[in-house]
Chains A and B, each alone.
Chain A
C-alpha cells in the first residue's frame, strides 16, 4: 500500500490550452493517505474519470506530477504502478473457469499454486461464488461476471492501491448491498488504499472515509460524509449530496438574521456583511412543517417514499423540499415551515461563508 501524492496536477484534452476553461481537470494538489478509502463523486463530465485515469497511468497529465510513496511515477506505465483496477463493465475471460479468472493476477506474477488456491478460496467466499469456481465464465449473468471482476481486483494483497470505476453499475440493488459491505469489510481487514469513482452519492458516502466531490473539473470539497451533509462548502455539494438535495433560497443576510421577501429567519450565529449572490441553504431534513411557527409555505404535493414523506412546496417563489416522518399527518393547517437555525448555512457566490468567530471547515485544496 502506498500514499499517493498529486502535485500541481492538471489536465487538458486540448494540445494548447489557453484558459482555465480548457482544462478537464483543474490544478490540484492532494495527498491520498496510505490505507484510506476514498470516493470520487460527481456527475458525468466533472473530471473524476480523468483523475482516476491519471492515477492509474492510462492518461498522461498535461501538467504536474504523481507520486507513489514519494516516488515520481508520472511517466511510468500502468503495469509498473502495481495497482488493481475494476471497471464499470465486467472484464472476464469467457473460456476460463471462475477459479482461473480469479487466479489470473496471481499466476501472472508467478505465485505458487498452494498460495493461489488459498487466495482464490478466500476471495470466492467474499463474492459468494464458492460453488461456481469450476464452471466457465461464459453464460454467467452480467452481475456474476462483475463479481468476478471485483474478486480479481481484490485477489492480490501486495498492490499499491485499488481503483474502482463505477463498479456496481450493472449489479442489482440487493447485491449492491452485499458487495459494498464486502468491500468495506475488506478495507477494514486489510487496509488497502482504495479510490472509488461514482456518481451515486449513497455508494460514495457509505463506502468512503473521505469523499472528494468534483464539479466542473474542480475539487469543491473533501470531507467525511458527515461534513458534506452538515456543512456543504459549495451549493453544488449541498445539491448533489442528499436526496432530495439542500434547499437553496435567495436571501439578504444581516448579522444573525436572513431575510427572504422581508420575513426574517434566525441564523443562530452572526455574519459579516456579504457581497454578490447571497443565499441560505437548508437541508430538507432540517425543515419541518408547522401550524403556528415559522414562515408561510404552499404545499404542492406530498410523496410517500416509504420510510418518510417528501413534501414539495413553494416558499416565496422558490421550490423547496421538506422531509416529514413516515407516520406524520400532514393536515390542511400545516401552512408554515420552520428551519433549524443550527443547520442553516449561508452562501455568497455559491461558497459557504463561515459565521463570525468560527473556524472555516476543511475545504478542497483547489478551492
Chain B
C-alpha cells in the first residue's frame, strides 16, 4: 500500500495554499505533519482524503490515479480536532456506524467494534452515550470509529489539541502502539515539536504551504536542511547569531572563536548564520572549549526542575533552557556558554551548510 503525491498544488482565491508537492507514504508508517497554523497541514490532508481536488498534479493510491475520486469512494478515515460523535447513539453504535453504512453483516461488525473498542480501552463504556464520557474518552470514541473501517489511510488533524495536558500525554504514548498494530498509513498533524518527537515515525515540516523536509523524526530534528525547518522543529524556538569565517576560524560575537572544521573548512570566507537550541545554552558549568557570550537577562521562568532564561544579546533574542533552579537578577548581564559542537551553520539563504557535530554523533 502506497500513497503518492505527484506535483500536487492548491490555490484558493488567488492564494497558494499548497505549492507543488511530491511525497510518498508507505504502508504501516506514522507520518507527522509539523508546522504552525496556516502552514498547509490541513490543506494537504484534505487533498489526500479527496475532500478537495488539487489544481495541478496527481494523487496515486497503490499505483492507481485517484485524483478526482470522491472521499466516499476512497479507503480513508479522518479525525478532527473537535471530536465528532453522534450524541444520540451509544458508543457501540457510534463505532459501528461506518460499517453499517457499508452494509457489512452484523457478526463482522460486532467483531470489528469489539476489537476497536478494546484497543481504545472503551469496552466498559460501549453502552454509554458520548456526552456521558470524559473529553479523552470522547476523542478515543472518534478514533475508534476511524480505526474500525480498517481504512488504508487514516488522517488525524490535531486530534489531541482540545484535550487536557495530562490526557494528551497519555494518548501520545498510546497512539503509536495502536498504529503499529493496524498497518495503515497514518498522517498526524500537530503544531507541537514535542508531540512529533513523542509520536516518532516520520516527520514532514511545513512552512507557508511547502514541505521543507521529510524524513525520520529524530533525523529531521537533529539534521534540519535549513533554518526554517530548524525553527519549526524547535520549541522554544532555535536561537541565532551571526558568525563570520576568516581562514580556519569562525568568529562569533563577543570576540569568541571556534575552529572551522569539517564542511566549514572548505567554504569561502564570509558571513554565515549560527543556530543553536535553547537546551544547549549553559550558565556556570560548561565544557572546557565552550564559547562565552554576555547577554542581558530580560525574563526568567522556572519549571520546577529547569529555568528558562530569556536573553537580549546585542538585539538578538535568545532563550536558554538551563538545568536546575537558578535565582538570577533581571536586567543584569549574564555570562552564558555554548559548546561549538552544538552549533549549526546556515548560509545567508537559510540553507544548512554544516550540521552540529553532536547531531552527527547522536
Contact = CB atoms under 8 A, between A and B. Distances in A.
Interface in B216-263: 218, 221, 235-237
B36 A304 contact: no
A207 B308 CA distance: 11
Nearest to B231: A174
A202 B166 CA distance: 11
Contacts of B165: 43, 199-201
Contacts of A109: none
Interface in B318-358: 319, 321, 325, 330, 358
A206 B302 contact: yes
Interface stretch (B62-70, B192-200, B286-294): B192-200
Contacts of A305: 194, 197-198
Contacts of B361: 327
A153 interface: no
Contacts of B308: 206
A98 to B, nearest CB: 19
B38 interface: yes
Nearest to B35: A172
Question: For the side of the interface on B, what is the size category?
Answer: 35 or more
B279 interface: yes
A284 to B, nearest CB: 10
B38 A141 contact: yes
Contacts of A306: 193-194, 197, 218, 221
Interface string B24-48: 0000000000001110000000000
B303 A307 contact: no
Contact of B304 (A241, A303, A304): A241
Contact of A304 (B167, B197, B237): B197
Contacts of A230: 304
A249 B309 CA distance: 34
A86 to B, nearest CB: 19
Nearest to B192: A173
Contacts of A229: 303-305
B302 A224 contact: yes
Contact of A303 (B36, B135, B200): B200
B131 interface: no
A272 interface: no
A199 B279 CA distance: 24
A44 B162 CA distance: 11
A308 to B, nearest CB: 8
Interface in A170-197: 172-174, 177, 180-181, 184-185, 188
A235 to B, nearest CB: 13
Contacts of B305: 229, 242, 283, 285
A289 B304 CA distance: 22
B304 A205 contact: yes
Chain B interface, DSSP helix/strand/loop, else mixed: mixed
A198 B197 CA distance: 24
Nearest to A199: B164
A242 B304 contact: yes
A68 interface: no
A226 B200 contact: no
A173 B200 contact: no
Contacts of A307: 277, 279, 321
Contact of A44 (B164, B200, B218): B164
A343 B169 CA distance: 23
Given A224-B302, A225-B303, A303-B198, A172 B37 contact: yes
B30 to A, nearest CB: 13
Given A143-B37, A307-B321, A181 B198 contact: no
A173 B218 contact: no
Contacts of A303: 197-198, 200
Interface in B181-209: 191-194, 197-198, 200
A174 B135 contact: no
B45 to A, nearest CB: 18
B344 to A, nearest CB: 14
A181 B37 contact: no
B36 A174 contact: yes
B313 to A, nearest CB: 15
A294 interface: no
Given A173-B193, A188-B330, A327-B362, A205 B302 contact: yes
A244 interface: yes
Interface in B139-172: 164-167, 169
Contact of B166 (A43, A177, A181, A184): A43
B237 A174 contact: yes
Nearest to B298: A185
Interface string B296-316: 001101111100101000000
A124 interface: no
Interface string A219-259: 00000111011100000000111111100000000000000
B301 A180 contact: yes
Interface of A: 43-44, 141-143, 172-174, 177, 180-181, 184-185, 188, 199-202, 205-207, 224-226, 228-230, 239-245, 283, 285, 303-307, 312, 326-327
14 contacts: A44-B135, A173-B191, A173-B192, A181-B298, A188-B330, A200-B165, A201-B165, A205-B303, A225-B303, A242-B305, A304-B197, A304-B200, A306-B193, A307-B277
Closest 3 CB pairs of A and B: A229-B304, A206-B301, A307-B279
Interface of B: 36-38, 134-135, 164-167, 169, 173, 191-194, 197-198, 200, 218, 221, 235-237, 277, 279, 298-299, 301-305, 308, 310, 319, 321, 325, 330, 358, 361-362
Given A200-B165, A303-B197, 12 more contacts: A172-B37, A173-B193, A181-B298, A185-B299, A202-B303, A207-B301, A244-B169, A245-B166, A305-B194, A305-B197, A305-B198, A306-B197
